[in-house]
Homo-oligomer: A and B are copies of this chain.
Amino acid sequence: MCVSPRRSVADTLETRQRILDRSLAIASAEGLEGLTIGRLADELGMSKAGLLGHFGTKEGLQLAVVDEAAAVFAREVPQRVKQLPSGLPRLKAVCEAWVSYLEREVLPGGCFFTAATTEFDGRSGRVREALAGMNALWRRDLRIHARRAISDGDLPADTDVEQLIYEIIGIMLALNHFLQLEHDSSAPVRARKALDRLFSAR
């Protein structure tokens, strides 16, 4: 009985979490398509069938990994600054937490969303839509803080909010690029300098 394959709900959830943790590490470095069932099962010491039981199909696994990546990002970035009131201080703190997140290389392949979005932006299907949705939600967060900063008088009344968001995202994409491709340790300094210029000299 004790060594039977039947497990408790808690055990099942723990196994599921183990799969997702490993999947996220692999996918950030090798892509969501490079994440194969056989290799993943091998690394986790379980069978492909046992693994697929948790997610149904590879697409189900990919969608679960996207959710897991969002949870990690939320824990590492917005949650760390949620005590600050919305507005310019919060927006600046979000950006600093974002730079720090990329700088600390929490995932081995850098930003999962950058890698996965670039990989899937030319395709169609549920994974692409899930990624687009996460990106949209995150821009919405930034937009709320930027608008509040304007109504607080901390950013000029004529600030182009979508332009601001565009430039923030560019700074973060460049940070990920220089860290991952060039292993350029001065990239975080450059990101911070660009953000300073963005928030002050407008």
Contacts and interface: CB of A to CB of B under 8 A. Distances in A.
A190 B173 contact: no
A167 interface: yes
A196 to B, nearest CB: 11
Contact of A30 (B122, B166, B178, B182): B122
A160 B193 CA distance: 11
Nearest 7 CB-CB pairings of A with B: A170-B174, A170-B170, A29-B122, A173-B173, A121-B180, A109-B122, A118-B118
A23 interface: no
Contacts of A194: 163, 166-167, 170
Grouping DSSP codes into helix (H, G, I), strand (E, B) and loop, the A interface class, with mixed when no group exceeds half, is helix
Contacts of A14: none
Interface of A: 28-31, 33-34, 108-110, 114-115, 117-119, 121-123, 131-132, 135, 160, 162-163, 166-167, 169-175, 177-178, 180-182, 186-187, 190-191, 193-194, 201
15 contacts: A29-B122, A110-B121, A118-B118, A119-B119, A132-B182, A135-B182, A160-B193, A163-B190, A163-B193, A163-B194, A166-B187, A166-B190, A170-B171, A173-B173, A173-B177
Nearest to A26: B122
**Most chain-B CB neighbours within 10 Å: which of A110, A118, A191, A193?**
A118
B162 A166 contact: no
Nearest to A180: B121
